[in-house]
Amino acid sequence: MSQVMTAAPAWTIPGFLEARENNHLFISGVDATALTHKYGSPLFVFSESRIRANIARLQAAAKEVDRPIRFCYASKANSNMAVLKVVRDAGIDVEVNSGGELYKALRVGFKPNQIIFNGTSKTNEELDEAVRAGIYSINVDSIYEIELVEDAVRRARRELNLGLPPARIALRLVPEIGTRSHLGLQTALLTSKFGISSSEVLEAFRRGLQNPELIHVCGIHIHVGSQTPDVAPFAEAFKSMWNHLIAIHRETGHTLKHINLGGGIPVNYLRDRSQADQLPEHERDMLGANLEPSAVLTEALRVARDGVGRGGLRRQRCGRIAGDARWRGTEKVRPESAPGQAHSSHRNHKVFLERLIHARKPLHPHSSITDK
């Protein structure tokens, strides 16, 4: 008896979305029709194995670039407690956008140093909860919000009568970078409601460093927007952060602990392209984006290295103290624009840059992941 082989539908993702017996949809090996009979409809189904596979893909990309990178799951994508537990068990961190999401993250077992609080218009209650939990970082969207975080620390110390350490904050910057995503998804433009503009960056850092007993500026954050189909905007955002980072260190001597590059890897919604021609070309590119995480990370770090080179810094071989960010050996710099012996501030600047590029611990870029 001859058998007719039929091609799998274009939307098939082997092991995740497949058409099987009686042409039923199967989700990670489970009959979707049987699920609706059991639980009713409409029904939202999320695959634990698919979530773990997406996270493993990101972790593999981090190994390829061989740099200390932490990934944060954007819990606004889905803050279901079971999903959060899977994310935690898979070994990455979490970014929350509300007091409720913070409560859930702590409840499922994320440690405070695994949590970043992002988003605009945080209430005093939400800031109080974040400060008292001692989370890794609060992303601050305005100079005014710096004062709100300081007030939250004061309230906590007064009411709890504890030696609470300073709250850790990161400043969210607007890099003024456009993408080929939908205009409503672009968050790196001056028209965006998020972040601190380039003209306010130094003022924001000066303000953030005024009261070190209350807050510690530990990082900077840029979000390029969702569903970005190209690597270039991520690299340009990273370059923008490097430039700000260098300017800040030159003026203040302050060293940041992490760079938070947000936006996430886009989801390919056009695996089945049978009707794609009905969409405008730019929408096809956006909805059918298929970026490799390793390509994004590699290009971002390449831009950072090139930026250091163009800054006129000459590196010398240094001895590295294992497991630490300190360096030993002679540090010399010869800026292109000022031949001759470098000032001590330039020497410190070089040490600072080399720490960020080579040290195993201090640099922790984050990426909110929403790949489903």
Q: How many CB atoms lie within 10 A of CB 305?
A: 12
Mean pLDDT of 352-362: 36
Q: Above 90 in pLDDT, residue 31? A: yes
Percent of the chain with pLDDT over 70: 66
Q: DSSP string of 75-92?
A: GGG---HHHHHHHHHHT-
Q: Could you tell me the pLDDT band of residue 108, with boundaries at 50, 70 and 90?
A: very high
Amino acid 242 reads: W
Residue by residue, DSSP assigns 9-60 as: PTT-BTTTEEE-GGG-EEETTEEHHHHHHHH-SS-----HHHHHHHHHHHHH
Q: In terms of DSSP bridges, do strands 368-369 and 327-328 run parallel, antiparallel, or are they unpaired?
A: unpaired
Which position has the higher pLDDT, 184 or 81? 81
334 pLDDT above the threshold of 90: no
One-letter identity of residue 332: K
Distances (CA, A) of 261 to 173, 183, 258: 11, 19, 10
Which range (12-21, 62-71, 330-339) has the least confidence?
330-339
Give the residue from 97, 8, 95, 14 showing the smallest Cα distance to 50. Answer: 14
Q: Give 3-state DSSP helix, strand, coil % of the chain, rounded to 5.
A: 45, 15, 45
Q: What is the pLDDT of residue 195?
A: 61
pLDDT value of position 83: 96
Distance of CA 299 to the CA centre of its chain: 15
Q: Which residues contact 332 (CB under 8 A, 6 or more apart)?
A: 314, 316, 342, 347, 350
Q: Give phi and psi for 69, each to the nearest 5.
A: -125, 135
Q: What SS3 class is residue 105?
A: helix
Contact 94, 72 (CB under 8 A): yes
The band of 257, judged by pLDDT with boundaries at 50, 70 and 90, is confident
**Nearest to residue 208, comparing CAs of 144, 120, 137, 131?**
144
Which pLDDT score is estimated for 315?
Answer: 39
3-state secondary structure of 241: helix
- Which of 132-141, 171-180, 281-290, 338-347 is modeled with the greatest confidence? 132-141
Higher pLDDT residue, 209 or 8? 209
More confident call, 311 vs 325: 311
Backbone angles phi, psi at 73, to 5 degrees: -75, 130
Q: What is the pTM of this model?
A: 0.74
Q: What is the mean pLDDT of the chain?
A: 75
Domains with residue ranges and CATH for the chain: 11-45 (no CATH), 48-267+279-369 (3.20.20.10)
Q: What's the average model confidence in pLDDT over 204-223?
A: 91
Q: Is the pLDDT of residue 137 over 50?
A: yes
**CA-to-CA distance for 164 and 149, rounded, in angstroms?**
13
Percent of the chain with pLDDT over 90: 37
Give the mean model confidence (pLDDT) for residues 245-260: 84
Chain centre to alpha carbon of residue 72: 6
Q: What is the pLDDT of residue 177?
A: 57
Span 338-344, average pLDDT? 32
- Cβ–Cβ < 8 Å for 124, 146: no
Residue 251 has a pLDDT of 84
Where residue 89 falls among pLDDT bands split at 50, 70, 90? very high
Lowest pLDDT segment from 14-23, 216-225, 285-294, 338-347: 338-347
Contact of 99 with 91, CB cutoff 8 Å: no
Q: Residue 208 and residue 145: Cα distance in Å, rounded? A: 10
